[in-house]
Amino acid sequence: MPEKMIFAPMVQENGKPFTAFQKPVGEKGRYVAGDWVEPESIPVPSFGVILLFSDDDLRYSEAGTYSTKDRKLYTIDPLEQGQEIEYKGIRYTVQQFKDYSDYADVFIYVARWAGNADNSV
């Protein structure tokens, strides 16, 4: 088995802060007036490299096509699919985990733009 590529120092040197929103541990949702309401997520300061997709990434994707507003995220800390993050005031949803754990020491994700009325971009 090949040695792992060491990307953690690159993430630490070139990364930027972002906010990851985590569900509270042990809290469950509840019904309010007959509607299920999930517990409010807790903002957690995080750090990573958030990149635009290249033209090739935008053209060729196993999962279909990406938007120019979607991002690649390299981080040292694991995230969960469906988890929301915020970077520069824009919300993204972690949609995909690219498992390179046999080859690299970082987690690589696809973060889809969560486009809503609060995002003017």
pTM value? 0.78
Which of residues 12 and 116 earns the better pLDDT score? 12
Tens digit of each residue's pLDDT (9 = 90 or more) over 60-77: 666 567 778 899 999 999
The set of residues, in sequence order, having a beta carbon less than 8 Å from that of 83 and lying 6+ positions away, is 20, 21, 22, 93, 94
- What mean pLDDT, rounded, does the chain reach? 85
pLDDT for 72 equals 92
Domains, the chain, with CATH or none: 8-25+35-113 (2.40.10.270)
CB within 8 Å of 92: residues ≥ 6 apart: 70, 71, 73, 84, 85, 86, 111, 112, 113, 114
**35-57: average pLDDT:** 89
**Residue 32 CB burial class (10 angstroms; 0-12, 13-18, ≥19):** exposed
Average pLDDT over residues 101-117: 84
Please report which confidence band the pLDDT of residue 88 belongs to, taking 50, 70 and 90 as the band edges.
very high
